[in-house]
Amino acid sequence: MDGDRAEVLLAVSVRTTIAGTVQPEPRRWRMRISLQRTEGGPKVSNIGFVQ
């Protein structure tokens, strides 16, 4: 966190299901989300994938 900005690292697991298909394997992603403090509260200012 730096003043009105912060970065968050996330590990996300997503399972997408499409009708008529076999049970999907989970997809795992790592993401970096940047937040900016505003008068209305924190807002996401950027999203990126981390390798």
Domain ranges of the chain: 1-13+27-51
Mean pLDDT of 8-31: 90
- pLDDT at residue 22 greater than cutoff 70: yes
Q: Is the pLDDT of residue 1 over 70?
A: no
Q: Which residues pair with 31 in a beta bridge?
A: 10, 49
| Bridge pairing between strands 27-38 and 5-14 | antiparallel
- Using only C-alpha atoms, the chain has a radius of gyration, in whole angstroms, of 16
Q: Does 36 have pLDDT greater than 90?
A: yes
CA distance 31 to 12: 8
- Residue 41 CA, chain-centre distance (Å), reads 18
